[in-house]
């Protein structure tokens, strides 16, 4: 028997470990134990939990550049927007990659003209694109959504603290462009498992 783990970078979490243990897929192989295989698009974690504690080998990898070269992924095109009064000097970093701390970054965005700069850049460079906006905090997502709505771009806001029915209503409106909604502002929600093939901007 076997266990197939989707988003297997979550495997060091207690819930995954309990399932893998239950089926005998961890540690020394039991005669009645299952063999586990994992798949993920992001073979990394943002914390210090080691994936090697669960997975013995990475047997196959395929990079983003290969996906682009083979026509499975679209080559991204980026636009840098300057925000003169965005002060990142006080924004702390964390982890090996030096990512900004979400709370600090959210406050810096809120205290600047970044929401208006984002709305202006969207109007100028992506007036017809269906877009997902990723914000570091719920508050900053709301403030940027307000700026986009004020600029004439109907924008929905979703986050994990919303009641499930309200969140589903906003997601359905975005997917169906109900009332012209073409931008979805979110904080850590439209990530793993979210799919909208019509989205063509981030």
pLDDT tens, position by position, 48-105: 778 888 888 889 999 889 999 999 988 999 989 888 888 888 787 876 666 777 888 8
Give the whole-angstrom CA distance, residue 123 versus residue 121. Answer: 5
Question: Residues 94-134: pLDDT tens digits?
Answer: 766 667 778 888 888 888 889 999 999 999 999 999 999 99
Q: What's the pLDDT at 28?
A: 72
Give the number of other Cβ atoms within 10 Å of residue 78's Cβ.
5
Q: What is the DSSP letter of 56?
A: S
Report which of 59, 66, 12 is spatially closest to residue 37, judged by C-alpha positions.
59
C-alpha dihedral, 9 to 194 to 201 to 94, nearest 10°:
-40
What backbone torsions phi and psi does residue 139 show, to the nearest 5 degrees? -60, -45
Contact by Cβ (8 Å): 4, 39 = yes
Report which of 170, 167, 174 is spatially closest to residue 129, judged by C-alpha positions.
174
Query: Which pTM value belongs to this model?
Result: 0.77
Give the whole-angstrom CA distance, residue 26 versus residue 54. Answer: 7
* CA dihedral sign of residues 107, 113, 114, 118: positive
């Amino acid at each position: 028997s076997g266990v197939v783990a989707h988003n297997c970078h979550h495997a060091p979490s207690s819930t995954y470990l309990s399932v893998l243990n239950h089926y005998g897929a961890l540690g020394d192989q039991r005669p009645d134990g299952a063999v586990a295989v994992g798949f993920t698009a992001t073979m990394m974690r943002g914390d210090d939990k080691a994936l090697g504690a669960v997975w013995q080998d990475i047997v196959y990898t395929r990079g983003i550049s290969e996906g682009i070269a083979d026509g499975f992924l679209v080559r991204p095109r980026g636009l840098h927007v300057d925000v003169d009064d965005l002060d990142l000097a006080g924004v702390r970093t964390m982890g090996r990659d030096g990512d900004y701390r979400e709370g600090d970054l959210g406050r810096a965005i809120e205290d600047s003209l970044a929401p208006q700069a984002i709305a202006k850049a969207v109007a100028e460079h992506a007036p017809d694109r269906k877009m997902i906006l990723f914000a570091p905090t719920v508050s900053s997502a709301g403030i940027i959504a307000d700026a986009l709505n004020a600029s004439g771009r109907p924008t929905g806001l979703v986050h994990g603290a919303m009641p499930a029915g309200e969140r589903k209503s906003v997601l359905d409106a975005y997917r169906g462009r109900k009332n012209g909604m073409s931008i979805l502002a979110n904080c850590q929600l439209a990530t793993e498992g979210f799919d909208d093939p019509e989205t063509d901007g981030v």
